[in-house]
Structure 1
Amino acid sequence: MSALIEALRRLLPAERVITDELRRLAYGTDGSFYRLIPEVVAVVNDEDQVRDVVDVARQHQRPVTFRAAGTSLCGQAVTDGVLVLLGEGLATCKISADGGTVQVGPAIIGAEVNRRLAPLGRKIGPDPASINAAKIGGIAANNSSGMCCGTAQNSYNTLASIRVLMADGTLLDTGDAASVAAFCQTHGWLLERIAALSAEVHADEALAARIRSKYKIKNTTGYSLNALVDFTDPIDILAHLMIGSEGTLGFISQVTYNTVPEYAHKASALVFFVDMETACRAVVGLKTRPVDAVELLDRASLRAVADKPGMPPLLKTLADGATALLIETRAPSATELHVRIASVLEELAPYPLIEAPAFTTNAAEIERLWNVRKGTFPAVGAVRKPGTTVIIEDVAVAVPDLAACCLDLQKLFAKHGYTEAIIFGHALEGNVHFVFTQDFGIDAEVARYAAFMDDVCAVLVEKYDGSLKAEHGTGRNMAPFVELEWGTKAYGLMKDIKQIFDPEGLLNPGVIINDDPSAHLKNLKPMPAAGELYAPVDRCIECGFCEPQCPSHGLTLSPRQRIVGWRELSRRKAAGEAPGQLGEDYLYMGLDTCATCGLCSTACPVGIETGALTRAVRGENLSSVARSLGQVAANHFGATQALARTALKAGHIAESIVGTSLLSRLTGGAWKEGMPKPQPAGRATVTNGDKVVYFPTCAGRMFGADTPEHALSTTVIRVLERAGYAPIIPEGVDSLCCGQSFASKGMEAEADQKSAEVEAALRKASNNGQYPILLDASACSMRMKAYLAERLPVFDLVEFAHDALLPRLMLQKKEAPVLVHLNCSARRMGFEGKLKQLAQACATQVVMPAEVKCCGFGGDRGFVVPELNAHALRKIHADVPANCCGGYSSNKTCEIGLTATTGVPYQSIVHLLDECSAEAARLATC
């Protein structure tokens, strides 16, 4: 063990000093096409820990890189030294009373800040496309912008104050007068040097004018030199130099933003022009109109998404050269919105359009139009060859130069053979992205990329004086070209800034300032083919958008990191290398602690479900004994479940003797507080009414309730009958299983066998689909919906209760608040609104913890690896109301884990309907 790691372990808990090969590899990967493997990863939760880690690194002369979400596209978040990973202790958020400002820590996700601001009608200005995954530290350190914020609302221009830990460990809070006064005393020399640089710029009119000119368009190439001309107070200059500094000047530990309005009234239109030049001429005029976003899509990008579900049919018939603008306008009222729409239509009237422009205010239609824009990047990534990476570059020019610039880029695509490349972007700011695929495993391909980038940079700088990086940051990717864009004098200022703030050069070296002209061609990330078991894995672009959805992220691995690890194992296998310790660690971190919930696919730009990879690998790794036992269980499921019920009864007997805590410890956490008691499946009692087939799923049949009348199946039958239905229970239900429990273990053949048995029973019970079929667990409903592919009318309990039961039941609302958990299967089926409306029909106050996605129980994972369930629910406690009357969901095992974690008894949502409808009936007869 190195002296560096020993020193870090004296400062931090052992679990937060990460040295294993698998996770160092995983954290050596960000959203870019670069990879460096850190010597150690240190997880920090407060400023003192950051200071201590940086101090240790300085003592050992090791470079330090700060990492928030790692969605960076230019290599800013990787290092071969000490990677300082921001922990949840730095995910703070404090909103002023009127919402005018928000004070946020660097580890909180941007979208979470906006969620908390939403009730006040406010949001933060920066709106990067990665905002659902990107954290404030990265958003500020990269001066990220996006579709709507332009330059006026980026971090630089909405900064109220900043809290920074300098390279030498000194803390400065620019919003605290005492902190500023202390800093002036200890670091007057630094402020004097900053003031001298500012004076130097002001004295050089040509340089000052160039800096002002460069920031009339979006620009994140190099340091924020505009701070030297926009401000005179060295503290203000320092604060704004930190924005966009990419962790090379200090650690941003807190940002206070001036928030901006979030208007509720919106309208969007997708407008088609005959060619690029006409579309870009229209952008010039639109810039003077009340528009919030104007997104440009070239013909290639429109063609890339034309076959996707929900796309406008016109996309398939457009002529070559056709270009679209996606225009959005927003307003504080419906009346003002229509005024703004009229203004935009007036601007568009003179142009020869392919079809008349039509704005929509319908939320679903607006989402459909924006899906055209959002689908362009993943469309290229999804069809690339295995082993290649997808690259997204972003540049900016003055809006009048936009058409010529785009045409020049298209010529360069053709010259260098990037025939799949597309162009789209934020036309209102002259900022476009171009996306192409690249193989970095072949020297000739690397040379082609190098020549292409040389040409792109030359054209952008020499012809347009444009920005080589408009919003993605400089990173390693554009560091060799900073001087080309800015010139020797301005680049000299940047080197001076780096020397003033980080004289030892230990903070993220190689990023922004890099004298190696070939730095952008080194440390390129390999993308070995790894899709033998699950082909979509080769589409992964390692962006990290999946991570906030994953219950194991931060405990072991995220979906992105599972794929990184699997790619390396696949590479070793192909090369004839042993998997080594990395392979051993992957069994627990990659397989055992994956909940296979599939939520990652809902955030993945290319739709990858990493859980499917996990299931495939689990199946591949099954021992012959395990597979044989699985086959026995599948063939004798009734007996297997009876045995499980017996074991559950024995557990309750043991609990009564030794107590819950001791039994939980003895079983490694498998035994939970509030563990349900086994109860037999309920039986229908009426035959009059509308027929519905009810299939009680196996978890509900095994895990019952304290009394038979409160068992899940009995309650479902009671509510169905109360609503005028005559439920039909399939024959032999006690020996049936939908196959979900087998599928989660990678036993696909056995899973399909059980699904086929259920299909036969449902077909018979429903008279070949004449009656609707109801399942009481969302995980099972989702599986059977997919398996049956609409051959039979299968409904989940949540959707059937919302659509069919609510209109038929009288309900008496509960006064006390209720907790609702949207489990991962219900979320993936799109039932959030329906579940919430069910609860709102039954209670005056409904709490659905926003930061809890999948509960991590994952079928049996909560019994086998209980730490996964505990980690996934670690944030739920803050949202549990003191006087809560109960918790509700739609998956039995999820409810077991939620009950044990919160102490609040969780049940199926049908129990809430039962209680409230029974109370309403009672009151009606009084």
Structure 2
Amino acid sequence: MTSPLLASPNTNPHYQDLYNVLKNVIDDSRLIRDPLRTLAYGTDASFYRLIPQLVVRVNDEEEVRLVLKEAKSRKLPVTFRAAGTSLSGQAVTNSILIQLSDQWKGHTIHQHGHVISLQPGIIGARANQLLAPFQRKIGPDPASINACMIGGIAANNASGMCCGTAQNSYNTVKSARILLADGTLLDTTDETSKKRFSETHGDLLDTLTLLGEKTRGNTELADKIRHKYRLKNTTGYSLNSLVDYQDPFDILLHLMIGSEGTLGFISEITYETVVDHPIKAATMIFFEDMEATCHAVTALKSAPVSAVELIDRAGLRAVEGKPGMPDMLSSLGENAAGLLIDVRASDEDELASHLELVSSSLDGLKTLNPIEFTQEKAVYDSYWKIRKGLFPAVGAVRPVGTTVIIEDVAFPVEQLAEGVLELQGVFHKHGYDEVILFGHALEGNLHFVFTQGFDAPAEVVRYEKLMDEVAHLVAVKYKGSLKAEHGTGRNMAPYVSLEWGEQAYEIMWDIKRAFDPDFLLNPDVILTHNANLHVQNLKPLPKANDKVDTCIECGFCESSCPSKSLTLTPRQRIVIWREIQRLVAAGDQPERLALLKKDYDYQGVDTCAGCGLCSMQCPVGINTGDLTRELRHDRIPDSKVGYWIGDHFEGVTKTARLGLASASVMKNIVGDSGMNLLTGAANKVTGGVVPKWRSTMPKTSIPLKTLLENDNDCAVAQTDQGSVVYLPSCATRVMGSSPNSKDQRSVMEVMLSVFRKSGYKVIIPKGVESTCCGLAFQSKGQFAVAEKKANDLNALLLEASENGKYPIVCDTSPCVLRMKETLDAKLNLYEQVSFISEFALPHLKITKKTARIAVHVTCSTTRMGLADSFVALANQLADDVVFPPDITCCGFAGDKGFSTPELNASALKTLSKAVEGCEAGYSNSRTCEIGLSEHSGLDYQSIVYLVDELSHSL
């Protein structure tokens, strides 16, 4: 039942014709037709796969209008895509995929944060960051809020843990800019736009008016609609708009919410925001069985709680032993279940009152543990992190080759206990004994997660029988919702008529015909005549590599990836590598396989920064960089050249310093443009050995030996705070300051100055000139050499620190991360930020800087859990600090900024605008600072320069 993947472009000539028209307006780099990227960009988080014929990355409304009009004239279907985190197949197509470029991040805050206008490419969590100073947030709070975009949140009417129904997009939307199937733009807040629309689309407005009157006049149907939206419900179109509103523009606006791109495109949405209570507390309580747990939910319905999340025994078992989880989980009985209860308030007194009411609501109910709320951030966050990670956690332990399926139903809350018990029985009947149930219990909304193989026809039949029985149980027997908050998609489209009945179902078709008479917008999503749609075009998930086989393609990783706008994201790298391995195993489509392999070299391997930030967002901790490094190793195994460089590292670094000095002289003769030509040619001839020139290329650093000889007392402390081992990284031993830097000292000189001021005696390890942490070798897949260098450094530092007696400070953050992962645990390793914050600042007097500065938190700093420390340090040093919100990893990636500078440029393309008005920039990695300087217009240096500039000894 799994559909074959397309091996060649569709023979329909209209696609080529459309491409020829679009390329006159949209640059070719945003018109994507090659097999690798159409597969990569066409994949979403669902278990369906369709490969688009053409992916168009649109920059603005005019481009969307153009694509819609031209596609309509050729009768070509169109599907819209934002982040692709949807779970039910809403964002896949085998026709034209309109994908948002990164130009859709505009926003306007109104009325002191009570209203916000957002373009569809803004990530949900970013919207809340913008509103945080006003103690407001958007109403929807889906578990994927750190990855999903506003366009998808609105199009799916996503809700979430604390949102309920009152604060979803339907109930908080104020206005929108909407593009219809024919390219017409409607701004629902602009009277001129509405008047013009009435003249050109009066028939659509008349249809909506008539449907509203007809529905409101049918008491039985109107009551049914009101009942179904008392629950969470995203099955079908938002029919509640027909009973809630009479103005056709209001009906149209609210029909767009939850329409999953089948009625039009929302190019901007304006929300009424909600209060973000600053004081929060949570608890986890456990009950002996599901029935008792559900009775507790009913008791809490009128209590002042923000969220009540139910987790069944299988779900609790999946998180046993996780940080922050109660030790008692392992001792719970087989039928136990738990509730995560969240309470929020505006101040401590209000919180105390709320907590008392919540506890009293549960009086008389037997719990297996005391009701103890925590405000401790680490524990509170761990509760929610684990709750949000239940879905991916199941996927991580699934058998290779199977997919993970999540559905979300809603029962009337007063029948929750009965419904849950019957639902569990249905799963066991069909052999799904590993199913996990959890969800937003106050709304009667439950998610069920299970693994499913689709390779065998019998498994597809088993799945189909399960869904048939679930649909009848929920929609018919309990009159609940088959899709509470994930949208209808492809998976539930065949069941919409079962849930709603023929009368309501025909109204939905009337709505579709009125908006999209040619049925070109996301066909078969929400409404379909194909009863087998939900078991067609199923996504294969073959074994690819044990480092990434647990990936469920959820897309949570994508927002943090520096190559997301240039080539592929971590999810997409895994998608393509899986397809390559599938084709290898199948032994067919050799031409397609060869093309994918060829293109993957650049798209997948060469442009991966290997920064590992994806692992921070991934619910199961996959670091796609590990796969990339393995592939680099397979391409060029550990070589004699690598060993030779490792064995002659001091000489190599001297040669590198000489090269920088020579380049500096040459630059003075031929200028930056001349250096770009010369090094570009040399880079190509040498296969990347000679780096490409950067305008911010540093001068050579003063040799460490010379530094110590010229300044014999540079390491002598002014007071005695003890000793510290200082390990200058190879980068700072080679690279000095930028020619344009106001402070021309090397990082090493500044580090020694800070050590001296703060009272620490400095120990420089003997033989440090020949050392390296091995990171440069590891990133190129030279694993054996990397391990050897790490072992050598380990011995050196054990000796210098007297087996860990003294703290060890390295001046380059990525090196410290590498050392923490590979060196002896007894070594107390610190990078600049952590050492300064913990050891230096208490002994320094700081005069804060008043000028605005920019700070880049490196990916290695984030991965070490030091991002908050870096932010705190920067705020201790300056009154006005800018942390560019859209910049994660800078993409310089060691020396990749020299060999693949387009990665660095893409990752930092928003930097210059973000740091406007800043005097200088600071970070904690010398190579990162080269790229940051070039793409910001500022001079970026190590944060130690700022510490040294502003500090005096106490």
Q: Give the TM-score of the pair, scaled to structure 1.
A: 0.97
> Which residue of structure 1 lines up, in the alignment, with residue 867 of structure 2?
832
Counterpart amino acid of residue 725 in structure 2: V
Q: How does 1:201-212 map to 2 (within 5 A)?
A: 201-212=215-226
Given residue 940 of structure 2, which amino acid in structure 1 is its aligned partner? Y
* Equivalent in the alignment of 1:575: 586
Which structure 1 residue ranges, 4+ long, deviate > 4 Å from structure 2? 706-709
* Aligned partners of 1:598 and 1:824 also within 8 Å: yes
Partner residue in 2 for 1:184 = 198
Cα shift at 1:724: 1.2
Residues 806 and 838, structure 1, Cα contact 8 Å, conserved in 2:
no
1:199 aligns with 2:206: no
Deviation at 1:665, TM superposition (A): 4.4
Q: Corresponding residue for 2:694?
A: 672
Q: Distance in 1 between matches of 2:895 and 2:455?
A: 41
Q: 1:732 aligns with which of 750, 759, 767?
A: 767
2:934 to 900, 909, 924: 900
Q: Deviations over 1:685-744 (max 9, x none)?
A: 338651111111101111113699711112112211221111111111111100000011
- Note if contact 1:305-1:375 (Cα within 8 Å) is conserved in structure 2: no
**What secondary structure does 1:802 align onto?**
helix
Tell me the amino acid that sits aligned with residue 166 of structure 2.
A
Cα deviation code 1:604-655 (max 9, x no counterpart):
111110111111111111168xx33222211211111112111111111111
Q: Residues 339-350 of structure 1 correspond to what in structure 2 (within 5 A)?
A: 339-350=353-364
Which position in structure 1 is the counterpart of 2:887? 852
* Matching residue within 745, 753, 758 for 1:718: 753
Distance (Å, rounded) in 2 between the aligned partners of 1:816 and 1:673: 25
- The more displaced of 149-158 and 320-329 is 320-329
For 1:693, the equivalent position in structure 2 comes to 725
Indicate if the aligned counterparts of 2:290 and 2:337 stay in contact, CA closer than 8 A.
Answer: yes
How much does 1:260 deviate? 0.6
Equivalent in 946, 949, 953 of residue 912 of structure 1 = 946
Match of 2:645 in 1: 633
Q: In the TM superposition, what is the alpha-carbon distance from 1:673 to its structure 2 partner?
A: 2.0
Distance 1:905 1:430 in 2: 55
**Structure 1 residues 392-791: aligned runs within 5 Å:** 392-531=406-545, 535-577=546-588, 578=590, 579-622=593-636, 627-668=639-680, 670-679=692-701, 680-681=703-704, 682-683=707-708, 685-686=715-716, 690-705=722-737, 710-788=745-823, 790-791=825-826
Q: Is the 8 A contact 2:324 2:379 kept in 1?
A: no
Equivalent residue, structure 1, for 2:858: 823
Change (3 A) 1:289 1:747: same
> Are the aligned partners of 2:155 and 2:256 in contact in 1 as well (CA < 8 Å)?
yes
How far did 1:783 drift?
0.7
Q: Does 1:155 align with 2:177?
A: no
Moved more, 498-507 or 637-646: 637-646
Which moves more between the two structures, 706-715 or 241-250? 706-715
Q: Matches of residues 298-309 of structure 1 in structure 2 within 5 Å?
A: 298-309=312-323
Matches within 5 A, 1:879-894: 879-882=914-917, 884-894=918-928
The residue identity in structure 1 corresponding to 2:724 is: V
CA offset digits 1:235-272 (Å, max 9, x no partner): 11111111100000111111110111111011111111
Matches within 5 A, 1:371-390: 371-390=385-404
Structure 2 unpaired stretches of 5+: 1-14, 681-690, 709-713
Distance 1:747 1:539 in 2: 25
Shift of 1:539: 0.6
2:422 & 2:37 partners in 1: Cα distance?
42
Question: 1:402, 1:430 within 8 Å by CA — same for their partners in 2?
Answer: yes
Instruction: Give, in angstroms, the shift of residue 90 of structure 1.
Output: 2.2
- Deviation of 1:368 after TM superposition, in Å, equals 2.2
Amino acid in structure 2 at the alignment position of 1:63: P
**In structure 2, which of residues 92, 95, 100 is the aligned counterpart of residue 86 of structure 1?**
100
Matched, 1:53 2:82: no
Amino acid at match of 2:699: K
Letter matched to residue 879 of structure 1:
A
In the alignment, residue 704 of structure 1 is paired with which amino acid? Answer: G
Give a deviation string over 1:512-555, Cα, whole Å, max 9, x none: 11111100000000001001xxx130111111111110000021
1:59 CA drift (Å): 2.3
- Range with bigger deviation, 361-370 or 730-739: 361-370
Is the 8 Å Cα contact of residues 27 and 78 (structure 1) preserved in structure 2?
no
CA distance in 2, matches of 1:666, 1:495: 64
Distance in 2 of aligned mates of 1:866 and 1:537: 27
Residues 302 and 376 in structure 1, CA contact (< 8 A), matched pair in contact too? no
SS at match of 1:815: strand
Alignment-mate amino acid for residue 576 of structure 1: G
Which has the larger displacement, 134-143 or 631-640? 631-640
Counterpart CA distance in 1 for 2:596 and 2:525 is: 29
Superposed CA offset, 1:45-82 (max 9, x none):
11110011112212222110010111010000010001
Structure 2 equivalent of residue 268 of structure 1: 282
Equivalent residues of 1:40, 1:81 under 8 A apart? yes
How big is the shift at 1:146?
0.2
Matches within 5 A, 1:349-360: 349-360=363-374
**Conserved in 1, the CA contact under 8 Å of 2:109 and 2:115?**
yes
Taking the aligned partners of 2:262 and 2:697, their CA distance within structure 1 comes to 52
Q: Aligned letter for 2:587?
A: G
Aligned residues: 914
Matched, 1:42 2:56: yes
Alignment-derived partner of residue 9 in structure 1: 23
2:249 aligned with 1:235, yes or no? yes
8 Å CA contact retained: 1:141, 1:244: yes
Alpha-carbon distance between aligned partners in 2 of 1:565 and 1:734, rounded to the nearest angstrom: 42
Aligned-partner SS, 2:230 = coil
TM superposition score normalised by structure 2: 0.94
Structure 1 match to 2:3 = none
Whole-Å separation in 2 of the counterparts to 1:685 and 1:35:
62
| Aligned: 1:115 with 2:129 | yes
Question: What's the CA shift for 1:10?
Answer: 1.8
Return the letter of the residue paired with 1:686: V
- Residues 380, 420 of structure 1: 8 Å contact kept: no
AA aligned opposite 1:695: L
- Shift of residue 4, structure 1, vs aligned partner: 2.2
> In the alignment, what sits opposite 1:331?
345
1:807 matched to 2:821: no
Q: Note the alpha carbon deviations across 1:316-368, whole angstroms, 9 max, x for none.
A: 11111111111111111111111111110110121111111011122222112
Q: Counterpart amino acid of 1:93?
A: H
Any idea what SS the aligned residue of 1:102 has? Answer: strand
Quick one: distance in 1 between partners of 2:910 and 2:824?
A: 36
Equivalent residues of 2:140, 2:169 under 8 A apart: yes
